[in-house]
Amino acid sequence: MKFVSWNVNGLRACLKKNFIKSFKFLDADIFALQETRMLEGQAILDIDGYSQYWNSAEKKGYSGTAIFTRVQPRSVNYGIGIAEHDTEGRVITLGFSDFYFVNVYTPNSRRKLERLDYRMTWENAFRAYLEKLDAVKPVIICGDLNVAHQEIDLTNPASNRHNAGFTDDERGKFSELLNSGFTDTFRYLYPDKKDAYTWWSNFQNSRERNIGWRIDYFLASDRIAEKISAATIEPQILGSDHCPVTLEIF
């Protein structure tokens, strides 16, 4: 089974940049989007063979997630069941016979870290939510987690040490999540691979120079890590400041 995750940084804009062509090229069984910034129905997505699930933020043009799936889920859940965390359209969970699939767009701590405290509260609540799911059956988590976990995951770790996405607090919470029973699927296959990034600033030709961050992930419950057959980053696919990431399991 093949999964794809992509922060499209505004789906309506991405649709004008060959989104449908990229969608078909990637040919996923389950395709997850983050930062859709739209309500279902605000754009026409003619994608045959896929059921669509949308979780939009109450604030128009902000955040939002969506999942397109060829495989019919047994259950669908929006949010994590905590009111203060469920107004921004950040989580969709699909339940299948053998696993849960969770699409997440983690809150950004923002430039001056003004949302870092909230981010820490979110991290604890989201981890607890995943642990409850994992107690029932394995979980596959994907999305923009808004953190570069290790120094290998961004070009300039020293100068970004106290910036949003690479603070000790955020990296520590990611470690806590992994330590609670989850595997970073890309690092499982490529523990030492450098220059593998999923997001690039729009300034100073960062993407062309590959000055980036790896902040988009597929995680999986430790007990199904041995089923990982492929995990890729697709920087050649344009349309957003992020690129798609993929996971294949057997």
Active site amino acids: 105, 144
User: Which segments within the chain are labelled E, that is strand?
Assistant: 2-7, 30-34, 51-55, 65-69, 75-78, 91-95, 100-105, 139-144, 182-184, 199-200, 212-213, 216-221, 228-233, 245-249
Tokens of 203: 């300034």
* Pairwise CA distance, residues 178 & 175, whole Å: 5
Decide if 53 contacts 76 (C-beta within 8 A): yes
Please identify which residue in the block is written with the tokens 């806590």. 176
> How many alpha carbons lie under 13 Å from residue 25 in its C-beta half-sphere?
10
Using left for φ > 0, alpha for ψ between -120 and 50, and beta otherwise, residue 244 falls in: beta
Helix, strand, or coil (residue 212): strand
Length of the chain: 250
Tokens of 98: 């053998």
